[in-house]
Structure 1
Amino acid sequence: MADRRLQVFHAVARHGSFTRAAEHLFMTQPAVTFQIKQLEEHFNTRLLDRGHGKVALTAAGEIVFAYAERILGLSDELEARVAELTDELTGVISIGTSTTIAAYWLPQLLEGFKRRYPRVVPRVVVGNSQLTEDRVVARELDVALIEIVSDQPAIERRSAARDELLVICHPAHPLARAKALKAQDLAGHPFITRDPGNAIRVLADQFLHAGGVGLDEIPVCAELGSLATVKHLAAEGLGYAIASSAAIRRDLREGRLVGVPLDPPLYTPLEVILPRDKFRSRLITTFADFATDALARMATTPLRQH
């Protein structure tokens, strides 16, 4: 219901970029530029300084941005309050999720939610856990599902479940014969690690440190953001990796990979997080409750294999 020009201006100002704002709003960049031009013509003044690939607010832009935040917030609250007068939940919900949760937990979770609330439109953004947490702090997302325990004061967190982490490798790899692996057992073997900010990388580094193994004792084979690529390299015998048990069930069943528990056992948390001080509609609260219950339930039952 809010003025589209204000929505676009707010996105450009917050992201500091026409390109990023266009991606966030699912618009073309020329369309974003047109909306900003229309708003500047309305106020008869320049609101944004553009130069060297960066966008900065003018003095007038600072005023418009402050009011835009208030207007857009009230508009969202108005829409939610009126929608709550009906029995059926409707609307768009912005959901952030880590890559592992997106691939192996989210499909079944969303299926259940959509069957119960068919008029809700989930808009999902995938990134590593740290990036997703940052987006919640910036209030770019309504709710998120991540694999790290957040200590951000701006975030409300709900611990839903946990998933065991395993060492994965080719069946002929020297580590494959072990019943359990301590940190010292991993030293000297090529390690296929994850990208910075990935929750499993953080947990793996903590496990090695707690076990008295320095990162300089672990030869890194590759540093990857794609779990599918991690599993492929491990299955081809190029090194070992550490992965969520939910992510490798099919690979274990088909014999492409072997999964070996860590000693002591290592678990990744499955957390539902929300902005603490942002207005929370019944839709957001309902999804957060549903996701927390669904993750807890799925963690104790085998996930579907596709």
Structure 2
Amino acid sequence: MDARQLEIFVKVAELGSFSKAAEALFLTQPTVSEHIRGLEEELGVRLLDRLGRGAAPTKAGQLLLGYGRRILELHREARQALDQFQGRMSGELVIAASTIPGEYVLPALIGRFKEKYPDIAISLLIGDTQRVVEWVLEGRAELAVAGAQIDHRALEYRELMPDELVLVVSAAHPWHGKKTATLEEVRAEPLIVRERGSGSRQALEKALAEVGLDLSDFRVVGEMGSTQAIKQGVKAGVGISLISKRAVAEECQHGTLHCVKVKDLRFSRAFYLVTSTTRSRSPLAEAFRAFLISESA
């Protein structure tokens, strides 16, 4: 059992597909299948159930998956430590982020970090806050930036930068050009919200709870799994929404959406750097962590 076989097995198990794993690893599907077959023969146990076009780890596969992730993590850490010892910084870093920081904050920061370390590769996984936290706990990502804190004894949070939720309406909405709206006015309008597990949704629910309200007091007409989907829904006139100011700054500047301040409601929140307290971090992850902290200071 070598590191390459483990890498291929872990990728198939995580993506649930031989073809997707082959694409991600720049291999042919027969090559991936041959590596998995060889690993199963060596260990004497089936590791993956073939489910039509998909694949899922067996009980034995689930056991190996945990060890495989840890072995690959140590393998990357060792190579990066030796590179750092020789005055170089190279290797691959996998980080995660919830939707807003992942789409509107981190890309520019990653670009500046790569200017300092051109030989590195960074993979950015984007999901809702709940999923992002799970990726850090599982070791799929060495660190993450999330829009909310989810309590867990194996996680550490550090506040990075502030964010603010704003009410957005379409260019055709009667409130276009309006500067403020009351909560009562907002309650009468069709509202689009993020899905459960989203940091933006948690921030909205917290703000409403502070004034004695919850989403059941509003005309919620839809839940959407991304900020981009919400923006398109608002533009199409499906409803209004309360989302991150960072996500709509460009649209509000060009007039395709309009931002309205809601009276009597405080919508400030923060983005957090999320790390595991039980897993070691590679030198590259430590360098990126320090970079994020310095950039947000």
The verdict on a shared fold, with TM-score over 0.5 as the criterion, is yes
Checking the alignment, whether the CA contact within 8 Å between 2:130 and 2:150 is kept in structure 1 is no
Aligned to 1:79: 79
What is the CA-CA distance between 1:70 and the residue it aligns to?
5.8
1:201 aligned onto 2:201 = yes
Give the distance between the partners of 1:168 and 1:270, measured in 2 at CA. 21
Report if aligned partners of 1:2, 1:75 keep a CA contact under 8 Å in 2. no
The answer to whether the 8 Å contact 1:187/1:213 transfers is no
- Where 1:94 maps in the other structure, the secondary structure is strand
- For 1:100 and 1:163, the matched residues in 2 are separated by 10
Q: 1:289 and 2:284 equivalent?
A: no
Structure-2 change in CA distance of 1:68 and 1:116 (3 Å)? closer
Q: Structure 1: how far apart are the matches of 2:66 and 2:255?
A: 57
Q: What's the offset of the Cα at 1:51?
A: 6.7
Q: 1:130 is matched with which residue?
A: 130
Distance 1:128 1:271 in 2: 13
- State how far apart, in whole Å, the 2-side matches of 1:195 and 1:20 are: 30
Aligned sequence identity (%) = 26
Contact 2:76–2:91 (CA<8 Å) still a contact in 1? no
Residues 92-121 of structure 1 show CA distances to partners (whole Å, capped at 9, x for unaligned) of: 000112222222212211121111111111
The answer on whether the counterparts of 2:10 and 2:69 sit within 8 Å (CA) in structure 1 is yes
Compared CA separation, residues 49 and 253, structure 1 to 2 (3 A): closer
Would the aligned equivalents of 1:165 and 1:261 in 2 still touch at CA under 8 Å?
no
AA matched with 1:22: A
State the shift of 1:72 in Å.
3.5
In the alignment, what sits opposite 1:300? none
Q: Structure 2: which 5+ runs fail to align? A: none
TM-score normalised by the chain length of structure 2: 0.84
Equivalent residue number for residue 90 of structure 1: 90
Tell me, what secondary structure is at the counterpart of 1:216? Answer: helix
Q: How has the CA–CA distance of structure 1 residues 153 and 24 changed in structure 2, closer, same or farther, with 3 Å as cutoff?
A: farther
SS of residue matched to 1:84: helix
Letter in 2 for 1:187: R
Q: 1:1-306, aligned counterparts within 5 Å?
A: 3-11=3-11, 15=14, 17-19=16-18, 22=21, 26=25, 30-43=30-43, 45-48=44-47, 50=49, 54-58=56-60, 68=68, 71-170=71-170, 173=173, 175=175, 179-181=179-181, 183-262=183-262, 263-294=264-295, 296=296
Q: TM-score, normalised by structure 1?
A: 0.82
> Aligned pair count?
292
CA shift, 1:87, in A, is 2.0
Structure 1 residues 183 and 114: CA distance shift in structure 2, 3 A: same
* Alpha-carbon distance in 2 for matches of 1:196, 1:157: 21
Q: Is the 8 A contact 2:207 2:266 kept in 1?
A: no
Q: Which residue of 2 aligns with 1:301?
A: none
| Deviation of the 1:130 alpha carbon | 1.7
Q: Is the contact made by 1:2 and 1:72 (CA closer than 8 Å) also made in structure 2?
A: no
* Alpha-carbon distance in 1 for matches of 2:291, 2:170: 37
Q: Which portions of structure 1, spanning 4 or more consecutive aligned residues, are displaced by more than 6 angstroms?
A: none
Q: Which amino acid aligns with 1:290?
A: F
Shift of the alpha carbon at 1:122?
0.7
Query: d(CA) in 1 for partners of 2:107 and 2:62?
Result: 41
SS in structure 2 opposite 1:93? strand
Report the aligned-residue RMSD.
3.0
Change (3 A) 1:222 1:20: farther
What amino acid is aligned across from residue 94 of structure 2 in structure 1?
Answer: S
Letter in 2 for 1:56: T
User: Which sections of structure 1, spanning at least 5 residues, go unmatched?
Assistant: 298-306
Separation of aligned partners in 1, 2:62 and 2:191: 49
8 Å contact kept, 2:80–2:89: no
Residues in 2 aligned to 1:63 and 1:165: alpha-carbon distance in whole angstroms: 42
- State the one-letter code of the partner of 2:57: V
